[in-house]
Amino acid sequence: MKLEEGKSRFIQAWGSLGSSWGISKSMAQIHALLLSSPDGLSTDEIMEQVQLSRGNVNTNVRELINWRLVRKETVLGERKEFFVALHDVHSIAQNIMEERKRRELEPVRRLLNELKTATIDGDKDEVKHFQSLISDLSDFVSQMENLTNLMTRINSNNYLQKMIKAIS
């Protein structure tokens, strides 16, 4: 298989997978392209390789920067900006977990905490069922946050990474 074919297949697969993670296909494809490029790419190069509009590329690159998966670089003598992906797999995973926790788990946790303390009026049995559901969901979200925090600590600890790799 030629390198370009492998990169193309990777970009397509990463794009499809990104949709499952709650990010746009375009954002995931740009991320895959930058991941598979050892050097930074300009907006024009990204547009050409993933066949997206300038606005789409600019929006998604900004979002990748917000997720701390990509950084912007300037080259002396060049007017263009270049974008470089973070290539450390553990850091990528950690940044994705932290961002998803911030965007998904924390808002749900806040809502559940608000609902747990609210006075709910209605049919006694339905209120009891609803409060039980909210309590169970709150416990589950707390466990998910604890798991995310644990994974973040593992990813930032080289010794634990090596130990897990040795075990597996």
68 in Cβ contact with 95 (< 8 Å): yes
Among the candidates 39, 59, 85, a domain finishes at: 85
As given in the structure block, the two tokens for residue 26 are: 């375009």
Q: Per the structure, how many domains does the chain have?
A: 2
Instruction: Kindly state whether residues 42 and 99 are assigned to the same domain.
Output: no
pLDDT, tens digit, 9 for 90 and up, residues 53-74: 999 999 999 999 999 999 999 8
Under a CB-based contact definition with an 8 Å cutoff, are residues 34 and 72 in contact? Answer: no
The answer on pLDDT for 37 being more than 70 is yes
Is pLDDT above 80 for 164? no
Specify whether 81 is located in the same domain as 110: no
Q: Are residues 11 and 44 in the same domain?
A: yes
Whether residues 63 and 93 fall in one domain: no
Report d(CA 141, CA 110) in Å as an integer: 10
Same domain membership, residue 75 and residue 34 = yes
C-alpha to C-alpha distance for 62 and 50, rounded to whole angstroms: 16
Six token digits for residue 20: 């499952």
Q: What pLDDT, on a 0 to 100 scale, did the predictor assign at position 98?
A: 85
pTM of the entire predicted model: 0.77
Report which DSSP code applies to 102.
I
What is the residue range of 145's domain? 89-167
The rounded percent of the chain whose pLDDT value lies above 70 is 92
At a CB cut-off of 8 Å and minimum separation 6, what does 120 contact? 127, 130, 131
User: What residues contact 35, with CB distance under 8 A and at least 6 apart?
Assistant: 14, 85, 87
